[in-house]
């Protein structure tokens, strides 16, 4: 019988070059505090966790997590690893339940679930390697020829620069784009105007026959968003993402039920029950969990089934391999996010400095290899000297 023999965690800390912080680059939840310190500090991260699951027959699965990697490492090493060693990885559903129930009093949301996610992703990678199949072939197989992806960056910046960036993605063949809002409730009507100018500038470049989405990263509140929605309506947005913070689910519901712009969210929601609440309230028009936060493949598949019953599409946060396999294997996952490869800035792009094997988009589409076992990801040595690795 296959058994899990060892679990190893490593934090990859980026010490290489970074793009310096910029003001009003993207709204975020800290914007509503009165303190004058760097409001963006909670938004940037320059560390990533890798979790390796090794079986007794020598296969190694790789999972990952990006939220608070050092705490997640500690959580896995201290609490989860002893629960998983000795188990058969094919009993993934039982292993998941064991990790969940034995950490329930402190772990069911946030860090606990991120740690469970990293292990679950590594387990699915190892299952693919043992069976010599890509993970998506184990989950439901190919449901689409290719995955259409949207270029997700376009942070707030001087308008000319913003337009040049949009032009670049358009020339690369993208037909869907996501931009960010720079100003929020504390910036008054002048900030509202500046936000609208960002949308105007991007639309001018990408034209009317493309999809435009907008992300607020929880930097607005209910009152502000209610005033913004009618002003934004003319830009024909596919969705407005995370306008209010993740706990204000009734705020999401109120905004989504205004039927002016579809509201999306879920990258800060966890487990099946969190999404059940959002769906019951018609709080979102798109679900955007991230596999490496929500609980891993094992729970993501349950959320996918539930969302399909409500006919709410699932567009996982971030794209990247751990999410692409879900998008490929689920009919109700129509498109995916794609973070353009870029110098290290927010932190999302660190993924490309740690792993190789993530597919590059061609004309706004990505494809997965039918023959690459597991996730199809390998840790790269290319940037090794720019990382400090905590083991
Ligand atoms: Mg987002």
* Average pLDDT score over the chain: 96
- Quote the ligand 1 centre to 291 CA distance (angstroms): 14
- Quote the ligand 1 centre to 54 CA distance (angstroms): 32
- Quote the ligand 1 centre to 240 CA distance (angstroms): 10
Please state the rounded mean pLDDT for residues 28-50: 86
Within 13 A of 265's CA, how many CA atoms are on the CB side?
30
Please, which pLDDT band fits residue 294 given cuts at 50, 70 and 90? very high
317 counts as catalytic? yes
Q: Answer yes or no: is pLDDT of 254 > 90.
A: yes
Instruction: Count CB-CB contacts under 10 A for residue 282.
Output: 14
Q: Answer yes or no: is pLDDT of 22 > 90.
A: no
Of 268, 317, 322, 325, catalytic: 317
Instruction: Count CB-CB contacts under 10 A for residue 75.
Output: 25
Domains and CATH numbers, the chain: 4-132 (3.30.390.10), 138-380 (3.20.20.120)
- Quote the ligand 1 centre to 289 CA distance (angstroms): 10
The pLDDT value recorded for residue 41 is: 80
The pLDDT value recorded for residue 18 is: 93
- Quote the ligand 1 centre to 81 CA distance (angstroms): 30
For residue 162, CA distances in Å to 156, 179, 370 come to: 7, 9, 37
- Quote the ligand 1 centre to 71 CA distance (angstroms): 22
The pLDDT value recorded for residue 42 is: 78
- 316-331 pLDDT tens trace: 999 999 999 999 999 9
By CB atoms closer than 10 A (0-12, 13-18, 19+), residue 334 is middle
- 211-232 pLDDT tens trace: 999 999 999 999 999 999 999 9
Percent of the chain with pLDDT over 90: 94
pTM: 0.97
């Amino acid at each position: 019988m296959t058994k899990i023999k060892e679990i190893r965690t490593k934090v990859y800390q980026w010490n290489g070059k970074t793009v310096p912080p910029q003001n009003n680059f993207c709204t975020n939840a800290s914007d509503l505090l009165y303190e004058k310190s760097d409001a963006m500090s909670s938004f940037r991260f320059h560390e990533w966790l890798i979790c390796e699951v090794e079986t007794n027959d020598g296969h190694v699965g790789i999972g990952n997590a990006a939220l608070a990697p050092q705490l997640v490492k500690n959580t896995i090493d201290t609490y989860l690893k002893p629960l998983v060693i000795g188990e058969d990885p094919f009993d993934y559903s039982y292993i998941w339940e064991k990790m969940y129930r034995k950490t329930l009093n402190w772990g069911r949301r946030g860090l606990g679930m991120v740690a469970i996610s990293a292990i679950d992703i590594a387990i699915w990678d190892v299952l693919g390697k043992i069976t010599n199949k890509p993970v998506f072939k184990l989950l439901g197989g190919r449901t689409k020829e290719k995955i259409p992806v949207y270029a997700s960056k376009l942070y707030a910046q001087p308008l000319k620069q913003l337009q040049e960036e949009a032009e670049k993605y358009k020339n690369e063949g993208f037909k869907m784009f996501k931009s960010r809002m720079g100003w929020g409730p504390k910036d008054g009507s002048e900030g509202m105007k500046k936000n609208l100018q960002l949308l105007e500038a991007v639309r001018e470049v990408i034209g009317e026959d493309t999809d435009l989405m907008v992300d607020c990263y929880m930097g607005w509140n209910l009152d502000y968003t209610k005033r913004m929605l009618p002003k934004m309506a003319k830009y024909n947005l596919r969705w407005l993402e995370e306008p209010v913070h993740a706990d204000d689910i009734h705020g999401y519901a109120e905004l989504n039920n205004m039927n002016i712009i579809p509201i999306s969210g879920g990258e800060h929601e966890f487990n099946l029950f969190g999404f059940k609440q959002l769906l019951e309230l018609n709080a979102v028009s798109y679900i955007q969990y991230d596999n490496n936060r929500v609980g891993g493949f094992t729970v993501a598949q349950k959320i996918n089934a539930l969302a399909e019953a409500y006919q709410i599409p699932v567009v996982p946060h971030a794209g990247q391999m751990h999410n692409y396999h879900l998008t490929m294997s689920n009919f109700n996952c129509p498109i995916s996010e794609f973070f353009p490869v870029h110098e290290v800035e927010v932190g999302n792009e660190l993924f490309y400095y740690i792993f190789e094997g993530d597919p590059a988009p061609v004309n706004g589409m990505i494809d997965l290899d039918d023959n690459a076992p597991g996730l199809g990801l390998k840790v790269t040595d290319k940037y090794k000297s720019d990382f400090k690795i905590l083991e």
